[in-house]
Amino acid sequence: MTSTTLSLSPIIDLTSDAIVLVSSSSPTPSPAKRMVQSPPAAKRRHAKLVKASPPKKVGSKRPNVLLAKKWDEQQDVTGWWVSEKLDGVRGYWNGAHFVSRLGNIFHAPAFFTAHLPTDHHLDGELFMGRNLFEQTVGIVKRHDGGDLWKKLTFMVFDVPSLKQTTFEARQAFLRTCVADCPYAKAVEQRVCRSNAALWESLNDVEALGAEGLMLRQPRSAYVGGRSNTLLKVKSFSDDEAIVVGYEDGKGKYEGLVGSLKVRNRGGVRFSVGSGLTDSHRRKPPTVGSMITYRFQELTAAGVPRFPTFVGVAIDKAWDESK
């Protein structure tokens, strides 16, 4: 049985020194117990649009996960922990199931969860590889993914059930916790030696197709909600929007969807065409679904410049503060 192998060492090597997790005065955690709607036809695309809201979903209890704020480049983060920002699907292991940030259950097969702890919660990313977000979503959304899950790795970055211990103590426990899990791996953490080194590393990972970097404050606790102890570092911005309609394609895209008409949280309407594959144009996200898009900046009117479609957002809350 094999699992995805990830190598980050040349990518986020911000220090030439070996990384050793510092000791903590916190109690040593005990060992974990282990478990052995179709789019409208082209002729209807110009119909009057109705105000859409994200569909309601049901599932397990919604986890109170830690969320990142955007890094202010004026802030000195020397000594913080750095890891690659993985472009996958956020997965929260509650000891019995994988659930999304909204509490929706991901139907992982037994072989994927067999060695995960039953008495601790793990927070991480269901990850297939860089630039494979859509394929990852396609697998985790299925109720019958089966062997397709062998393409995924649960990249774990924290242990929420040990939230009052330090980050370093949780990382030490985490590495022991997933040591025998063929489909789980602890996200590699490195020490940031300077802001300049952080920028160099960001350029390196983005050149390789990565989404960016994550910063974690040393000795910080795990506290649910958006926090100053977890920061994201990216050269672009992203957000979510609701699909409210479609624009017909022209030229080689005649008969297909040319772009998505969307509305963001601020009520601003605009179109997103860049990033759509031929498959998306043949079968676009349904009206009322939520998408993630990237953009460079906002105009004075609040319209995103050069928006690019990333994928359907399956684990984001519409009322969630960015």
Domain ranges of the chain: 66-233, 237-312
Question: For the domain with range 237-312, which CATH number is right: 1.20.1730.10, 2.40.50.140, 2.60.40.3950, 1.20.1640.10?
Answer: 2.40.50.140
Is the Cβ–Cβ distance between 200 and 15 less than 8 Å? no
Strand partners of residue 119: none
Positions in the chain whose pLDDT score sits under 70: 1-60, 319-322
The CA–CA distances, whole Å, from 308 to 89, 182, 211, 252, 295 equal 19, 35, 14, 19, 6
* HSE value, Cβ hemisphere, 13 Å, CA-based, for 54: 21
Residue 239 to residue 291: CA distance in whole angstroms: 8
Q: What is the 3-state secondary structure (H, E, C) of 67-87?
A: EEEECCCCCCCCCCEEEEECC
Pairing of strands 153-158, 184-186: parallel
Examine the residue annotation and report whether 85 is marked as an active-site residue of this protein.
yes
- CATH for 66-233 (3.40.50.300, 3.40.470.10, 3.40.630.30, 3.30.470.30): 3.30.470.30
The number of residues in the chain equals 322
Cα–Cα distance, 117 to 36 (Å, whole number): 10
The confidence score (pLDDT) of residue 32 equals: 52
The Cα 95–Cα 113 span in angstroms is 9
50 CB neighbour count, 10 Å cutoff? 10
Decide: pTM greater than 0.75.
no
**Maximum CA extent, the chain:** 67
pLDDT of residue 300: 86
Backbone angles phi, psi at 174, to 5 degrees: -60, -45
> 85, 150, 185, 234: which is the annotated catalytic residue?
85
Q: What is the DSSP letter of 255?
A: T
Token pair for 201 = 């590393």
Whether 316 and 101 have beta carbons less than 8 Å apart is answered as yes
State the pLDDT at residue 60: 62
Q: Given this model, what pLDDT does residue 28 score?
A: 42
